[in-house]
Structure 1
Amino acid sequence: MTEFTGTYSATIDDKGRIVLPAAFKKEMGELALEPLVIERNLFKDCLDIYPEKYWNDRVTEFKSTLDPFDEEDDDFLQFFYENFIKVGMAANGRINIPADYLGYGKLTKNARLIGMGLSIRVWDVDVYEGQRMAKSTFVQRFKEKRRQKSAE
């Protein structure tokens, strides 16, 4: 099972290309031969990259909640599909990020890539530092979650 972990630095070139760290490429194994999906993160100014296999599972789960004959669900589905794109990865781990996705993520030159389990989060370094959760907030939320879990 793929489990992306760790934090890495990367550079985005003038053509919008970024090379995934060797650790991420290795973790993908044979999935590196399949397309990747780049999604605009709905909550933060960053992008999420998924191997297509895991993305397809998300799409299937999402679509199972919708009625294809409901107008609001149709709009909902359209927004969902507008929010991601499939790309290929070169043998060296390089991917091209379309310009509008770079703009959405406020990505310029220096990027921070964070393993998020089944996906890889891509941040502009400066944006990441401005939106990153503080350690004290993490500790507080962690304790709250543990208390909730033990109360169940």
Structure 2
Amino acid sequence: MRFIGNISAKTDTKGRVFMPAAFRKILQAAGEENIVLRKDIFQPCLVIYPESVWNGVMDTMRTRLSRWNRKEQQLFRQFVSDVEILSLDSNGRFLIPKRHLQMANIQQEVSLVGMDDTIEIWSTAEMAKQSLPGDEFEKAINDMMGCQY
């Protein structure tokens, strides 16, 4: 499952947003009925996991974190405590809970960004603040890929 692209959308007064058709097709082709929503750990955005991808994350975490270690249990609890399991309605919309809208500073304008096996939901204004200028982006990519320029 690979999501790519940056698609603009708007939330309605209830906090619903349309899942872009290109992303819906990928979910349907994979037989995904549910999606999992949580706040990103590092950035002020939300992350949508197809349920099978989320289950893989949970499996990985459970193999690395001991149920018998207090700190590791606390980390796991905090990671899963703000998770919502959602499904698309018949119109292809899903509801973003109000607390999640607040966590990501989302008012109405959003960008849904395909990030390989997940989809990020950004406040359009917040995403603009997080983006690198063109020359910094070019240098960072070249450095990361080990390129000389």
**Which amino acid is the alignment partner of residue 50 of structure 1?**
Y
Q: How many residues align?
A: 147
Contact 2:32 2:51 in 1 (8 A): no
SS at match of 1:53: helix
2:38 counterpart of 1:39: yes
Distance 1:73 1:6 in 2: 35
Distance 1:85 1:35 in 2: 10
Structure 1: gaps of 5 or more residues: none
Distance 2:135 2:102 in 1: 31
How far apart are 1:92 and its partner, in Å?
2.3
Match of 1:124 in 2: 123
- 1:2-53 CA deviation, whole Å, 9 max, x = no partner? 1101111111001010001111101112446511001101111110111101
Contact 1:47 1:105 in 2 (8 A): yes
Distance 1:3 1:137 in 2: 26
Match of 1:14 in 2: 13
Contact 2:6 2:112 in 1 (8 A): yes
Match of 1:68 in 2: 67
Q: In the TM superposition, what are the counterparts of 1:1-152 in structure 2 within 5 Å?
A: 2-31=1-30, 33-147=32-146
Contact 2:32 2:52 in 1 (8 A): no
Distance 1:23 1:32 in 2: 15
Structure 2: gaps of 5 or more residues: none
**Which amino acid is the alignment partner of residue 38 of structure 2?**
E
Identity of aligned residues (%): 27
Aligned residues: CA RMSD = 1.5
How far apart are 1:83 and its partner, in Å?
3.4
Contact 2:32 2:50 in 1 (8 A): no
TM-score (norm 1): 0.90
TM-score (norm 2): 0.92
How far apart are 1:130 and its partner, in Å?
1.1
